[in-house]
Structure 1
C-alpha cells in the first residue's frame, strides 16, 4: 500500500492533495485549482518522489511519451527599451550585452543546424518592446530564406507585444506559434517590470490565440515571488490555456537588479515543475533557461520524469546551454522519443 493510500485509509476521506490530484488530474484530466496548487507547492521533500511520479503519470496519460525539441536564435540582441529586471538585454542596465543583429545567412545556418538535431521547432527571438517595420521585414526575409534552403522546420517567433496588424502579418508569413511570456503572477509583475503591464502582455496573447497561432507562454521562477504567487501564476497560465508553457529558472545576470538573487534550489524547482503539470495536464511543458544552473544533469532527468515533455537544445539567447547531443542522448536513455515533424503539423 502506498503512503498516500495509507493516509486515506486512516482518515476515511480523500483529503491528501496527491490523492485528490490522482482522481482529479490523472483520471479526469482536470487541472488543480490555485488553492490546490498551493498545497502541492507546500509539500515536504519527503513527498517529492511521489509528486514527481504522479506528474509523470499525468504527462504520459494526457500527452504521451513524445518530447518536442526546439532551438532558439536571437535575431536582434540587446538594447531593449524595457526594464525587465531579470534581463541582461535591457538597455537600461549596465550589463555586458550589446546590441547586435544576426544576418540572414546566419539565421538560415542556425535553422539548418537546429533541424539536423531532429528538432521540429525553431524560434526567432528579438529583444524589443514590439517589432518595428525593419524587424518584421527581417523576419519575413529570414523565413523565406529558411524555406528556400529546403528546411521544413516549424517556425515560431518571440518579438514582444504586438498590434493586431502585426499578428495578422505573422500569420501570413506562416509563423505557427508565438511565444510571449507573462513572466510571473499578475500580483508580482509590477515588482519585475515597470515599463509595461501584465495586462498588455495578456492582450497580445489574446490576439495571437484569436488569429489561430499556437500560444507559447510561461515565465521565470525565482524572481522573489512567494509560494502563493507561484500558485497564482500557475492558475493564471491554466486559465490562459497555452499550447506550450515554458519553465525558466532565474539566471542572475550581472548588471541587472537581480544579479545577486539566489539560484532556485533544485528540489524546490522540481516541485514547482510538477505542480505546474498538475495545474495544466495537456500543454507542452518545456524546460527552458536556467535548468542547467538550477538542476544539473541529474535534475534535468528528474524533471523529464516529473511532467516535462519539451526541451530547448543548444544555447539560449545570452547564456550557454548543454550540447544538443547530450540532451538527445538523455532522451534516448529515458526511452522518450523525439516528436516527429509530421506529428507536430
Structure 2
C-alpha cells in the first residue's frame, strides 16, 4: 500500500498532477484495484493530468494495411497469423492505393497515417515498397507517415528513418512476464530491442498492446511500467476483440469498468504520453464508455477501420470529439 493514511488518488494528485511524475508499479496496481465507486474520481483526476501535461487537443490517426494476412508468427490474438484458421486472406496494396488512402485520411483531419504490414519483419521487397510509398505520399499529402513492420535490424531502422518515417509502431503487446502466454515464435526482448533502436534513430516510438488477454492485475501494472521505461511518444490502448479461429477466440471481452480503470491507471503511470484509443474499444466500451475514456485520460484516437476488424465511420468519432468539446490537433503542432 501507499501509506495507511494517504489515499492512492490523493497521492496521485500530488505526484502526477502537481509534479508530472508517473506512478510506480505498486501505486499503479493500487489504482487498478480501486472499487467501482472510485472510477468516476479516477477518471476525473486522469483527465486533469492529461489536460495539464498533454493539453486538450486530440490527435487523430488513420491506419491501413500494406500487407494483410499470412504472417508467420503465432500472436494468439491475431487473425492475420498464417498458423491459425482465421478468415483473413493475404493481400498487398500498391503505392497508388496507399497514396489515395493517405489523402482520404488527411480529409478526416488526421495528422498521422500509419502503414502496417503483417510480418515478423520486412524483407527487401516490403522495405523498398515502404520507402517508395513514403516518398509518394509526402509528395502529394500533407500528413505525417508512420509505419509498423515488425521486428527490425539496425540497417532497416536507419533506412526507415532516412525515408522520413515520423513514428514507428511496434507493440510490446503485454507484460514481459505474460508474453510467453501470448506469443511463442519470438521474444519480448526482440520487440524491445527494435523499439530501443527506433528511439535512438530519432523516430518517435509508438508502443502499446492489448488489455484483457488473460493477464492479472499485477501483470497489467507491470505492463504500464514496461511502457513507461521506454518513454514512448504514443501508447495505443487496445482491448481484446476475440477473433474467430485464433487461440483467444473463446476469451470474454474485458468488462467496461475494468477497461476504464486501466485507462485511468495508464494515464497516471504515463502522464505525458499520447494515449490512443485503438482496437476493441467499440466492443468493450461502446459510445458512452468511449466518451468517458476521452474525459478520463485518452488524448488520441484511430478513426475508421482497424486492420482486420471494423471500427466506426470516421465521422462518428469526429462527432464524438465535438460532443465532448475536445479540439483536434493540427498537423503543424505535430511536426
> Which secondary structure does the structure 2 equivalent of 1:246 belong to?
strand
> 1:57-97 deviations in whole A, cap 9, x for unaligned?
00001001000000000000000000000000000001011
Structure 1: tracts of 5 or more residues without a match? 1-10
- The CA deviation at 1:140 is 1.4
Equivalent residue for 1:17, pick from 8, 11, 18? 8
> 1:5-38 deviations in whole A, cap 9, x for unaligned?
xxxxxx9x75210000000000010000000000
Aligned to 1:211: 201
Equivalent residue for 2:312, pick from 287, 304, 322? 322
Query: 2:110 aligned with 1:86, yes or no?
Result: no
Aligned to 1:8: none
- The CA deviation at 1:147 is 2.4
Query: 2:277 aligned with 1:287, yes or no?
Result: yes
Structure 2: tracts of 5 or more residues without a match? none
Are 1:14 and 1:20, in contact at CA under 8 Å, matched by a contact in 2? no
> Which secondary structure does the structure 2 equivalent of 1:183 belong to?
coil
Aligned to 1:187: 177
CA RMSD of aligned residues (A): 0.9
Higher mean Cα deviation, 58-67 or 96-105? 96-105
- The CA deviation at 1:145 is 1.8
Q: Which runs of 4+ in 1 moved over 2 A?
A: none
- TM-score (normalised: structure 2): 0.98
> Which secondary structure does the structure 1 equivalent of 2:156 belong to?
helix
CA distance in 2, matches of 1:321, 1:126: 19
> 1:255-276 deviations in whole A, cap 9, x for unaligned?
0000000000111101001100
Equivalent residue for 2:154, pick from 164, 177, 197? 164
Aligned to 2:64: 73
CA distance in 2, matches of 1:107, 1:123: 10
- The CA deviation at 1:334 is 1.3
Matches within 5 A, 1:1-345: 14-148=5-139, 150-345=140-335
Higher mean Cα deviation, 13-22 or 268-277? 13-22
CA distance in 1, matches of 2:5, 2:196: 37
CA distance in 2, matches of 1:14, 1:52: 22
> 1:160-180 deviations in whole A, cap 9, x for unaligned?
000000000001100010000
> 1:207-254 deviations in whole A, cap 9, x for unaligned?
000000000000000111001100000011111110000100001010
Are 1:313 and 1:322, in contact at CA under 8 Å, matched by a contact in 2? yes
> Which secondary structure does the structure 1 equivalent of 2:51 belong to?
helix
Equivalent pairs, count = 333
> Which secondary structure does the structure 2 equivalent of 1:71 belong to?
strand
- TM-score (normalised: structure 1): 0.95
CA distance in 1, matches of 2:137, 2:202: 22
Are 1:76 and 1:125, in contact at CA under 8 Å, matched by a contact in 2? yes
Q: Which has the larger radius of gyration?
A: 1
> 1:91-143 deviations in whole A, cap 9, x for unaligned?
00010111100111211111000000010000000000000101011111211
